Amino acid sequence: CPIETPEGQNIGLINSMATYARINKHGFIESPYRRVKDGRVTDEVVYLSAIEEGKYKIGQANSKVDKDGVLQGEFINCRVEGGNFVMVEPHEVDFIDVTPMQVVSVAASLIPFLEN
């Protein structure tokens, strides 16, 4: 079974690294994000720790982007400090998730319809 299912006192407590995450030289987990400049998603990938993430407005990977990388729509749903979500104009977005699957482990990403 590729999915960990501990029993006993640890039931439901699983520590698996998220997809695309890495450990930096100081031992902190970092996640990849694509930089956004003036509402345009660039090819530059930047790894941020949880502390660094709080300094930026980070858009969701499923945000609409045209063929030139320009964020589409009047507002973009973004995470900000404290894990809160806000709607901001495209030019206010600093980074965007690389993929929607980066928040789960490889094993969890195998579960069909995980969002349900």
CA 30 from chain centre, in angstroms, equals 10
Closest to 92 measured CA to CA, from 54, 56, 45, 48: 56
Low-confidence ranges of the chain (pLDDT < 70): 1-6, 10, 12-16, 103-116
Model pLDDT, residue 68? 93
Question: pLDDT (tens digit, 9 = 90+) per residue, 89-113?
Answer: 999 999 999 987 776 666 565 666 6
Alpha helices in the chain (DSSP H): 50-53, 106-109
Q: Tell me the fold of 16-103.
A: Rna Polymerase Beta Subunit; Chain: C, domain 4 (2.30.150)
Residues 6+ apart with CB under 8 A from 46: 32, 33, 34, 35, 95
Distances (CA, A) of 47 to 12, 16, 33, 83: 29, 19, 6, 18
